[in-house]
Structures are given as C-alpha cells and as structure tokens.
Amino acid sequence: MISHLPRYIFNFIFFTLIQILVLNNIQLSGYVNPYLYILFIITLPFEIPGWLLLVLGFSSGMVIDIFSNTPGMHASATVFMSFLRPYVLRIFAPRDEYQPGTIPTMGFYGISWFLRYSIILVFAHHFFLFFIEVFSLTHFFSTFLRVVSSTVFTILLIIVAQLFSQGKKQGR
Amino acid sequence: MRNFIRFIIKYHFAILFFIIEAVSLLLVLNYNAYQRSSFLSSSSTVTGGIFKRYNAGAEYLMLRDINEDLAQENAYLRSRMPESFRASRDYFNLVHDTVSKQEFIYRSARVINNSTNRRFNYITLNKGRLNGIEPEMGVISNKGAVGIVKNVSDNYSTVISIINTRLKISAKLKESGFFGSLEWDGTSYQHVYLLDIPRHANVNVGDLVVTSGYSSIFPEGVLLGNVEEVTLDKGASFYRTRVKLSVDFKNLAFVEIIGHNSRDEQIKLEKETEDD
C-alpha cells in the first residue's frame, strides 16, 4: 500500500487542479457540471482503513470548496460518498473476493464492473451535492435533471481518465 | 465503560462519518459567517496567488478580445473629449469650479477568478484594501454592471456577481422610469429577471434596463441589459420581464470598481430617518 503513495499524492494534486482550473469553468446549457476530482476517492485501495477514507474524502472536498467559495458543500458530498464506498464495494465483490495488491480500477476488474461501481458512487455524490446546493425541494425535477446529466458527463470523463492511466499498467 | 468503548470501536466508521458530515453541514449552514473569514474564501493570499498565476496564462489567450474591448472604450472616451465637440457660443460651456464635487471614483481591476455555472457565482479581483477597495462598492465593466464587492483582503477582493441568486439589484426601465428589483433565477448566465414592474407601466421588448441609483452603490443609469420577453400572469399585478444581460460573464477580464464619496453621508441620513 505504501508503494501506491506517490501515485495517490500525484492523483490528488492533479485531479484537484484539473477540477479548479478547467472543469469548474465548463458549463453546457446550464445543466452539466462535471466533477472529476472524486475519481481520487473512487480509486483508493481496497484495504484503506475507514477513518482514513473519510478524512481523505473530507479534505479533497474541502480543497475544492476553498477554491470555489462554497464551504462545506463539496466536503459533505464527498464524505457521504466515502461512507458509501465500502458498502458498494461489498455488494459488487466478485465470487473469489478482491485480489490483494489490486485497486478498484477499470484495468483490474473490467469495464462493466467498474461502471456499475462508479455510477452508484458518482450518482450519490452528485445527488447530495446538487441538493445541498439548492437546499430546497422546490425545483426537484430541474435539480434532478442536473444530477443525472452531470453524472453521465462525469462518468464519461472518468472512463477517459481510466483509459489514459491504463496504458501504464499493461506491463504489470 | 468497557462496553461503551467496545461499542465505539465496533461502530467507529459510522460514528466518524456522522461527526465529519455534521461538521461539513455546519460549514454549509454557517456559510455567511465563514465567508467573512478570509481563509476560506478565494480572496485569501494562497488561493488568490494560484488563481493569479493561472490567469496570467489564460489572459494571454484572450488578448484579442480584450484589445477589441479596450479599443472600443478608447474610441468612446475620445468621443467624449472636449476636442471632439464643436465649440458653439449658443450653448453652455463646462467650467471646473468648486461648487461641484467629484462624487464617484473609478478604479480599474483585473478579474482573476470567475464562475458562471453555480447558483452562487463569485468573482475575484486583483485589488484589495490597500488599493482603496471596500465592501459594498459597485463593480462595472465597459459593457455594464457586474456585481457588488463582498469581501476584501489586503490585495484581493471577491465580488458577488449579478448572476448570483443571493443578489438583488434595484433597476429601472430607462424609457419610462418604472423601477423594480433585478434577480437571477439560477439557470441561464445570460438572463436575469426584472420583477415588480406594475401592470399599468408600458414595457416593450428591447427597452433598456439600467441601475436606478437608489441603493447608492451604483450611479444612476449604468446599463444592465435589455428586455427580451414580457409576461403577465393572469391576475398578477406585476410584470415578469426577462432581461438579456449586456455583460457576457463568460468573457470578463477588466472591470472598474466604483467608490461613492458621499455614500456614508447618505446612509447615515437614511438611517436617522428610519429610526425616527
């Protein structure tokens, strides 16, 4: 797990910068806001202790919050997602359990497993985030539409990001 | 006691989750209080510095548009120069005397961070307290009003932009003088709504909407946009007019901050009147 450390530090900084400098400026027709930075939480190792997962979720959300003037919004959504992660992983566990030394990525467990796993987490995160943001149920369907369209877009970005990092792992 | 500790160890994941989640939600709910502490807002030195560096690069790519805007503004200002008016004895001349006093001061600033895709959009500028910027000053660009200064640190300031559902601006129709409040509904970054225009007013598509000057933040007559659609619900006594903003918030580089010299005096007088 220690050997993954530099890679995750790099991931954290890289995804945060991409989110702040590029993706926060993207807006398609007022409904689509992709949030790629949660890929950092999604791909953390299986063996990570629960408390560390929550703390990392909080800090990655908080960094985004500080840069976008929304204290607490991203942090609460990311913590919620980190909380769900162990349960979602348990539901989708393969028959012979997760192999030691692997991490939850498309390269190790295939696209269909990864899609099911990440769609649930991304949807949970976006749902929490957008409803915390409007803080009311009055525009439920317009907010829900934002959640769904943003989820689709984030998933597309996540797959593209995974395909890029997959090339390095072929030689394992 | 031992059972209690065992309980905590067994459910530490869920307990920790509730604690951290509660902290985050408290942050959300105390949003305004936390906005004031400059550490968490993008006017703080570290985050401001990063945005400034990023902006130096991004601005280079926008030079063509910026030049065009500046050239246009130059032309406009040049046309206001005394030399470009024909001297005529039949009309008044502009005389500088001590009777009139400068009321509004304009300071230029650069936009170093900006968002258009959230419900609460803020802009960060590269000038702050040391440059004489104070909260509640109006911000305009060469195309029209942009927002109001919210927080100020020594070198940076944050601005609530017009496309922020927390901001309401007093605006009026330039032609007829009827005034109402201008609000954003959180959807399109190019449109806002002018509410509270009574139904006996004459509103036409294309009418100019300008600031009313009542709030003492903006001078009177700063352009906001023009009316694009007028709707009147059945039985309603006020129009709901959709206004197309004159400022393109996606493409904002240089702005001017308006200081109002006699604002304190006006506010003090108004407060005294209310207290009576």
A60-100 confidence digits (pLDDT tens):
999 998 888 777 889 999 999 999 999 999 888 887 788 88
pLDDT in tens, B45-54: 667 777 778 8
Q: Check if the beta carbon of residue B190 is closer than 8 Å to that of residue B228.
A: no
Residues B113 and B140 in one domain: yes
pLDDT above 70 for B84: no
pLDDT number for residue A170 = 45
pLDDT number for residue A6 = 85
**CATH number given to A2-166:** 1.10.1760
DSSP H helices, B30-119, are 31-36, 45-61, 63-79
pLDDT above 60 for B146: yes
pLDDT number for residue A171 = 40
pLDDT number for residue B83 = 62
Facing B20 at nearest CB: one of A58, A73, A132? A58
pLDDT above 80 for A169: no
Find the range with the poorest average confidence among A168-172, B130-134, B235-239: A168-172
Facing A72 at nearest CB: one of B24, B117, B119? B24
Residue A172's pLDDT band, with cuts at 50, 70 and 90, is very low
Extents of the domains making up chain A: 2-166
Residues B190 and B234 in one domain: yes
pLDDT number for residue B35 = 47
> Span B47-65, mean pLDDT?
79
Residues B7 and B118 in one domain: no
pLDDT above 50 for B38: no
Residues B30 and B68 in one domain: no
More confident residue, A115 or A139: A115
Chain A: nearest CA to B51, how far in angstroms? 8
> Span B68-79, mean pLDDT?
80
Residues B161 and B187 in one domain: no
Distances (CA, A) of B244 to A122, B13, B188, B209: 35, 50, 10, 9
| Global ipTM | 0.80
Beta-carbon separation of B42 and A21 below 8 A: no
List the structure tokens of B120.
């609460």
pLDDT number for residue B36 = 47
Within 8 A of B13 by CB-CB distance, chain A residues are 50-51, 54, 83, 86
Strands (E) in chain B, as ranges, are: 104-114, 120-125, 138-141, 144-152, 157-164, 169-173, 179-183, 191-198, 208-211, 223-231, 238-245, 254-260
Find the range with the poorest average confidence among A55-59, A130-134, B88-92, B243-247: B88-92
Chain B: nearest CA to A90, how far in angstroms? 15
pLDDT above 60 for B114: yes
Name residues whose C-beta falls within 8 Å of residue A155's C-beta, 6 or more positions apart in sequence: A115, A118, A119, A122
Within 8 A of A150 by CB-CB distance, chain B residues are none
Residues B159 and B177 in one domain: no
Within a domain: B216: yes
pLDDT above 70 for B92: no
pLDDT above 80 for B34: no
Within a domain: B109: yes
Residue B85's pLDDT band, with cuts at 50, 70 and 90, is low
Beta-carbon separation of B24 and A70 below 8 A: no
> Span A159-163, mean pLDDT?
88
Residues B238 and B118 in one domain: no
Within a domain: B93: no
Residues B131 and B173 in one domain: no
pLDDT number for residue B71 = 79
pLDDT above 80 for B259: yes
Residues B213 and B233 in one domain: yes
Residues B155 and B180 in one domain: no
Within a domain: B13: yes
Beta-carbon separation of A80 and B21 below 8 A: yes
Beta-carbon separation of A33 and B47 below 8 A: no
Within a domain: B87: no
> Which chain A residue is nearest to residue B122, measuring alpha carbons?
A69
Find the range with the poorest average confidence among A50-54, B196-200, B259-263: B259-263
Within a domain: B88: no
pLDDT in tens, B188-246: 888 999 988 888 888 888 889 999 888 778 888 889 999 998 888 877 888 889 999 99
pLDDT above 70 for B120: yes
Q: What is the overall mean pLDDT for chain A?
A: 85
Provide the domain count of chain B.
3
Domain that holds residue B32: 2-36
Number of H helices, E strands in chain A: 7, 0
Measure CA of the first residue to CA of the last residue in chain B; give whole Å.
Answer: 62
More confident residue, B98 or B71: B71
Within a domain: B118: yes
pLDDT above 90 for A27: no
Within a domain: B96: no
Beta-carbon separation of B27 and A61 below 8 A: no
Range with the largest mean pLDDT of A25-39, A155-169, B182-196: B182-196
Q: Check if the beta carbon of residue B62 is closer than 8 Å to that of residue B54.
A: no
Rounded Cα–Cα distance for residues A169 and A162 (Å)? 11
Residues B127 and B258 in one domain: yes
More confident residue, A68 or B180: B180
More confident residue, B104 or A123: A123
Rounded Cα–Cα distance for residues A146 and A123 (Å)? 11
Within 8 A of B21 by CB-CB distance, chain A residues are 76, 79-80, 83
pLDDT above 90 for A126: yes
Q: Which residues of A make CB contacts under 8 Å with B? A: 21, 24-27, 30, 33, 50-51, 54-55, 57-58, 61, 65-73, 75-76, 79-80, 82-83, 86, 132-134, 142
Residues B57 and B156 in one domain: yes
Domain with residue B211: its CATH number is 2.40.10.350
Beta-carbon separation of A80 and B187 below 8 A: no
